[in-house]
Structure 1
Amino acid sequence: MPPQTAGDTTTHPGLEELRAEAMEWGRKPRALGSFYVTEHMVRAMRAYGWTIIVGALGQPVLYLLGLAVGLAALIDAPIVVGDQEVPYLVFVAPALLMTSAVAVASEEFTYPVMAGFKWRRYFYGFNASPLSSGQIANGVVAGAGARMGLTVALYFVFIVIFFAWLQPDATRPGTAWLAIFIALLGGLSFGVPLMAYAASIEDDKGQFALVQRFIFMPMFLFSGTFYPLATLPLWLQWIGWISPLWHATELGRLVTYGQPMAPLMIVVHVVYLLALAIGGLVVGRRLFERRLAK
């Protein structure tokens, strides 16, 4: 075949096929797309990195010293659950550990999601690349999970070093470290459905403030955080039953100091948390796809 000249418009027989194949691969999402979005979300947290560190270190100090230790000084009687008695601080520490993850989730799955769609619109930049909308949603979840993991791990270390579940005369199970992963699951079970809700909002009209006041705070107060859920009147106990915080807290008490629990209830707690997290992700991915297609 003679060489092409500058004005020659003929093409190599296989060039069009190669070009079409390259275009097709360009449209396909990258294999590590979710990782790239996660990396961006984590790097963006550097803008408020000191807030994250101070919050992760200061929150356990404020909660445990102010609420748990201070309130425990007024409560001489141990907490009785079934046939087991535990000191008040031992009872409340796992609940505060779970609360720390849920509190981070309430931050990372609200305004940052709104920023990605409306204020800074970086989700649309991601979507203009080979990244898929599902990978963007996955990356948001993983990025928030990274911050939750850091917060919960520091919280756990603080409790172990300074309080150690204050039961020197009792036999503690060697599974306390599992509370870190339970807290992470609890945070995701609350945060991922919240991400789906945030993805459905076109304008911020105070919806997230309402979530904090009328969902997070009642859940924090009435999910057996500071006292057994059974001590509440029946018309308030339902808040705990539907609250991911209560389900995570019950599992946390199981692995930290061995709270008695029927095997069926362990399954119920785990399945409920997984259902919220997975169901929220499925809905969230669809909402991301619908929103980014506009």
Structure 2
Amino acid sequence: MTEQQTHAVLGLRSPLTPEEAARRARRFGPVYYAEHWLRRMRGYGWTVLVTAVGTPLVYLFGMGVGLATLVDTGTNAAFDAGNGASVSYLMFVAPALLATAAIMVSAEENTYTVMSGFKWRRTYYGPNASPLSSGQLVDGHALGLGVRLLITCGAYFIFLLLFGAVGNPGTAWLMILTAILGGLAFGLPLMAYSASIQDDRGQFAMVQRFIVMPLFLFSGTFFPLDTLPLVIRWIGWISPLWHATELGRMFSYGITEPVWLTAVHGAYLLVLAVAGWLLARRIFTGRLGA
């Protein structure tokens, strides 16, 4: 009895030949690497849980029970959100907090994680020695990042609903997608930058202090962007956080803005994400080979 017949009798699937395994890897390489990328998250699953659940609770209690109470009281319970919209302050900041959560996750997963793959744990070299190409590693990383962003933003959105921070639930769930797009628009260029670094000499700390934090503070997160002086308003204009937040506010409570501006928000985020993805593939290929 041949090996194939034995497997058929026992109801087992015949093992793939090396050629078949290689063909599957070339076809589904990004999915395989994304699975590996997500499985490794079990090593720091507690951190993922705290990020997805604990962080929104802290921010929403701080905004909904603390700052929002003061702002709403001082504005007769109707915060002027700009663009002709008047909503509660919590409803105004909710889309920004959701987009910020995506930005923070992207910053976490596209700095030290990428450096580790090249330098400390060298986890990119094993898969790259298989039929998986360096470009597929980037694709798998981006796919895995998208799944984690979906988990984080989905959990965050549930808390927003529970806190009454959503204007129109029928369309507000689209904030999840705009936040994910904002996270990719920020994270994929950062991934390319991280892949270009040979040694950690404080670059990632600089990114947190001089890029992530200013974007968080000056992207219309806590107040309309047009209330800022022009000398710093440009930070919001170039910030993926502001563009993702404005899209989220449109889906949540329907801010009024020109159609062309809405198109600019979406196009800007897509361009950043695609440019970062292409640049990351090029840098990965240069460091790992085709």
Q: Specify if TM > 0.5.
A: yes
The answer to whether the aligner puts 1:126 opposite 2:127 as a matched pair is: yes
- Output the CA distance in 1 between the equivalents of 2:169 and 2:35: 36
> Post-superposition shift, 1:67?
3.5
More helix by share: 2
> Which residue identity lines up with residue 97 of structure 1 in the other structure?
L
Q: CA deviation at 1:162?
A: 2.5
Report what 2:269 is aligned to: 273
Uncovered stretches (5+) of structure 2, i.e. residues with no partner: 1-17
Find the residue that maps to 1:130 and give its secondary structure. Answer: coil
Residues 98, 187 of structure 1: 8 Å contact kept: yes
Q: Which moved more, 1:142-151 or 1:229-238?
A: 142-151
Task: Tell me the secondary structure at the aligned position of residue 70 of structure 2.
Answer: coil
Runs of 4+, deviation exceeding 3 Å: 25-29
Distance of 1:273 and 1:46 partners within structure 2:
30
Q: What is the CA deviation profile of residues 195-241 of structure 1, one whole-angstrom value per residue up to 9, with x for unaligned ones?
A: 00000000011111110010000000000000000000000100000
Q: CA deviation at 1:293?
A: 2.4
For residues 77-127 of structure 1, give each alpha carbon's deviation from its aligned partner in whole angstroms, at most 9, with x where no partner exists.
133213221111110011001000000000001111111111011101111
Secondary structure at 2:219 match in 1? coil
Identity percentage of aligned residues: 56
1:209 correspondence with 2:210? no
* 2:119 counterpart letter in structure 1: K
Confirm or deny: 8 A CA contact 1:79 1:88 kept in the other structure: yes
Whether 1:219 aligns to 2:215 is yes
Once the two structures are TM-superposed, the CA of residue 173 in structure 1 deviates from its matched residue by 6.7
Q: 228-237 or 53-62, which moves further after superposition?
A: 53-62
Question: What is the TM-score of this pair, normalised by structure 1?
Answer: 0.87
1:36 aligns with 2:21: no
* 2:93 aligned partner, one-letter code: V
How far apart are 1:146 and its partner, in Å?
1.3
What is the CA–CA distance in structure 1 between the aligned matches of 2:204 and 2:236, rounded to whole Å? 21
Match of 1:191 among 183, 187, 191: 187
- Residue 14 (structure 2) aligns with: none
Residue by residue, what CA displacement relative to the aligned partner does 1:54-86 show, whole Å, maximum 9, x if unpaired?
A: 221111111111135311121121332132211
1:109: which partner in 2?
Answer: 110
- The answer (yes or no) to whether the contact 1:33–1:135 under 8 Å persists in 2 is yes
Alignment match, 2:79: 79
Q: CA deviation at 1:163?
A: 2.0
What aligned pairs does 1:114-193 form with structure 2 within 5 A after superposition?
Answer: 114-165=115-166, 172=168, 174-193=170-189
For residues 176 and 288 of structure 2, the distance between their equivalents in structure 1, rounded to whole angstroms, comes to 34
From the superposition, tell whether residues 282 and 223 of structure 1 become closer, same or farther in structure 2 (CA, over 3 Å): same
In 2, the alpha carbon distance for the partners of 1:82 and 1:256 equals 14
Q: Over alpha carbons, which structure has the higher Rg?
A: 1
Q: 2: distance between equivalents of 1:200 and 1:68?
A: 41
Please list every run of 5 or more consecutive structure 1 residues that lacks an aligned counterpart in the other structure. Answer: 1-21
Give the superposed CA RMSD.
1.9
1:98 aligns with 2:94: no
Q: Which deviations, in whole Å up to 9, do the C-alpha atoms of 1:128-148 show, x marking residues without a partner?
A: 000001000111111122111
81-90 vs 125-134, which deviates more? Answer: 81-90
Structure-to-structure mapping, 1:221-240, within 5 angstroms: 221-240=217-236
Match of 2:254 among 246, 253, 258: 258
Contact 1:173-1:257 within 8 A present in 2 as well: no
Which region of structure 1 is more displaced relative to structure 2, 43-52 or 156-165?
Answer: 156-165
